[in-house]
Structure formats: C-alpha cells, structure tokens
C-alpha cells in the first residue's frame, strides 16, 4: 500500500498550478471536457434538476467536467435534493448525506476552498480588467 494521500489526476494538478511540485503522469487517459451544457438525467426529481441547472453551467464554463463525471454530478444533485427535502420537513439531515454532499462539492469546486484549488481552464477577464492588468 502506498503512503501519502490519494493520487491526483494530472489535469487537476495542472489546474491547481502544481503548487506541490507533483510529478505529472503522462500515461493517464485523456478525457475531453464537455463544451455544451447537457440536460439533466430524467431520473432526477425537480429539486435535483434545479441544482443541476444551477451548477452545470459553472462546470462547463470552467471545463471541470467530462462525460464520465456526469453521473457523479447527478449524484451530487440527488443528495442536494434529499438535504432540501429534510430541511423542508424540519428533520435532522443524515450525517451520511452531509459528508457525501461536502465531498462532491469539494471535488467539483463548489466550495470556497475547492475553488481555490482549481484554476479555471477558460475563465475570461472582462475588458476593463484586461485593459488595466493585461
């Protein structure tokens, strides 16, 4: 068993500016990011679809998601809908849902700390900022 943390995919290492000077693996499979906003899966309920519609543009715009990760995003949206349903019924939110929700939010960069680890692939500066700061 290897020591240390989980291996980080090379594209994530590059997005994070390789702050830890991690050796980049060149034999990983290359997955192309999705460029068009996909529709939510039919199995998702209304609240999960609302969350999908809210977060998928962020993922596509920043090239954070490929076709292989759409089911993970659907799972995140499903968990979100379960948490919202629990809140509406004034019930305690199960710890398992919260733990999974935090994990997926961190993976996709939906949290402030998750965003600091990711350098957006195609974030564009507005004209004023580009004019003054290059």
Which pLDDT tens digit goes with each residue over 89-131? 999 999 999 999 999 998 888 887 777 666 555 544 444 455 4
Is the overall model pTM greater than 0.75, yes or no? no
Distance between CA atoms of 21 and 17, rounded to whole angstroms?
A: 9
> What DSSP state is assigned to residue 38?
P
Residue 24 tokens read as 């980049």
Tell me which residue has tokens 């507005």: 126
Residue 107's pLDDT is 83
* DSSP structural state of residue 23: P
What would the pLDDT profile of 35-92 be if each residue is shown by its tens digit? 999 999 999 999 999 999 999 998 998 888 899 999 999 999 999 999 999 999 999 9
What is residue 125's predicted lDDT score, i.e. its pLDDT? 47
């Amino acid at each position: 068993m290897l020591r240390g943390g989980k291996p980080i995919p090379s594209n994530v290492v590059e997005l994070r500016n390789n702050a830890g000077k991690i050796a980049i693996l060149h034999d990983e499979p290359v997955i192309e990011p999705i460029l068009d906003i996909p529709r939510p899966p039919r199995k998702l309920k209304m609240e999960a679809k609302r969350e999908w519609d809210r977060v998928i543009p962020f993922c596509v715009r920043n090239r954070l998601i490929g076709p292989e990760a759409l089911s993970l995003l659907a799972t995140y949206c499903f968990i979100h809908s379960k948490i919202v349903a629990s809140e509406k019924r004034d019930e305690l939110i199960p710890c398992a849902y919260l733990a999974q929700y935090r994990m997926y939010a961190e993976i996709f960069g939906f949290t402030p700390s998750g965003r600091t680890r990711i350098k957006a692939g195609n974030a564009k500066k507005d004209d004023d900022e580009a004019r003054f700061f290059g």
